[in-house]
Structure 1
């Protein structure tokens, strides 16, 4: 399978920090976040991948809410 072409660009430090934060929050790599952003800009987004990402984040939020409720019971709230 042929490799995808590589494109590089310098961005402000603040952008890189935001990209990193999004990547950490969504469990993805920075490169995936940048590809998705470029795809949105170019009108090339895959609705399936966006729905999948949303579903994944919803699952993670539900799991975190369940864990938080369990912690609340442990500390007597």
Structure 2
């Protein structure tokens, strides 16, 4: 799967999010910035991203995904 497709799926599934995705076709790293993460535990943030990717995690199109999730405020503090 192309990293740009994953980026689009995340951004469509999480309104007002910004994603950066890199990878080799099966193994990916993503940075996702979204205010929907506010007040949520890390596992809940990652679940939101997985939901945005729908079945692509289960059909092995994405074999591995390393996630970094931040709110906009946390991103701006970096």
**TM-score computed with the length of structure 2 as normaliser:** 0.26
- Larger relative contact order (C-alpha < 8 A, sep ≥ 6)? 2
**Which of 1 and 2 has greater Rg?**
1
Higher helix fraction: Structure 1 or Structure 2? 1
Of Structure 1 and Structure 2, the greater strand share is in 2
